[in-house]
Every structure is written in C-alpha cells, then in structure tokens.
Amino acid sequence: MENGNITFTMIKPCAVKQEKEFDILLDIKNAGFKIIALKKTKLSKEQAQKFYEIHKDRPFYKELCDFMSSGPIYAACLKKENAVNDFRKLIGNTNPELAEKNTIRKKYALSIQENAVHGSDSNENASIETKFFFSNLEIFE
C-alpha cells in the first residue's frame, strides 16, 4: 500500500439496513476511487470498542459502539491520489445537517451518529484501519 494514496471506509449499519450500500459504492467509484479491498462483516461490541478507542472518553462512545455493532457493515480500502482528503470531502461533515449538498452524508445519513459512512482522518489511520480488517492477501491494487 502506497502511503498517501489509500483511505479506509465503512458503510455503517444504518446505510446497510436501508440497502444503500451499492448506491454509496457507486458514488465512491464515480468520484474516482478504486476499491482495492471490500468485505461485508459485522463488528462485535469488542471490535467496535477497539476500532473507536480514540473516542473512549467522548460522551457518545458507548452509543457509538452499540450502533456500530448493531448490524452488518461493509469495510473497504480505497485507492486514489490524495485519498484521505478527497474522501473526507466526498463524505462531508460528521453532522449531515452541516454536510454540503451531494456529499454521501448529506444524501444518506440519518443523524450525526447514524451518518452512513466512516472515512479515515489521516494516512497513518488509513493504514491502521485497513489492517484492522484486511490481510495483504485481501488487497488487490
């Protein structure tokens, strides 16, 4: 994986429940991202707690971990020049009410918690988060 060219995303349980995963994946493809790894899975409570450990002192941590382990998700690794920043732009603000028109969160989020997708916030975290879900044998550039 070339640093700077990959990011990691999850399609969250709210979007999968609404059967929006393929619409979202198409938006991602149409924005120029190549999907180099993809799987449908379900996080255990413990896995959600581990993934979101950096937020463990935030008031929404417990609710977030309950939500993220409430149903199946899709995890994906995406490749594009400037992937982390361009993907954050594509998904929009954490709060869908503040997200710009045509962003994935504006289109598919239900609330600040049930905001349809995750996107890595740095190159380092993109790599850590990708490895949380995928082995090298599951990534094809």
Using the minimum distance from each CB to ligand ADP, give the nearer residue, 39 or 55: 55
CB of 97 to ligand ADP, least distance (A): 12
How many chain residues bind ligand ADP (CB under 6 A)?
9
Q: Does 86 bind ligand ADP (CB under 6 A)?
A: no
Q: Does 121 bind ligand ADP (CB under 6 A)?
A: yes
Q: Which of 25, 35, 110, 112 binds ligand ADP (CB under 6 A)?
A: 112
Q: Strands across the sheet with 6-11, in order?
A: 34-41, 73-79, 6-11, 117-119
Cα–Cα distance, 129 to 90 (Å, whole number): 19
Q: Which of 25, 31, 35, 64 binds ligand ADP (CB under 6 A)?
A: 64
Beta strands in the chain (DSSP E): 6-11, 34-41, 73-79, 117-119
Q: Does 110 bind ligand ADP (CB under 6 A)?
A: no
Cα–Cα distance, 117 to 27 (Å, whole number): 12
Active site residues: 118
Q: Beta strands 34-41 and 6-11: pairing type? A: unpaired
Task: Give the binding site for ligand ADP (CB under 6 A).
Answer: 55, 60, 64, 94, 112-113, 115, 118, 121
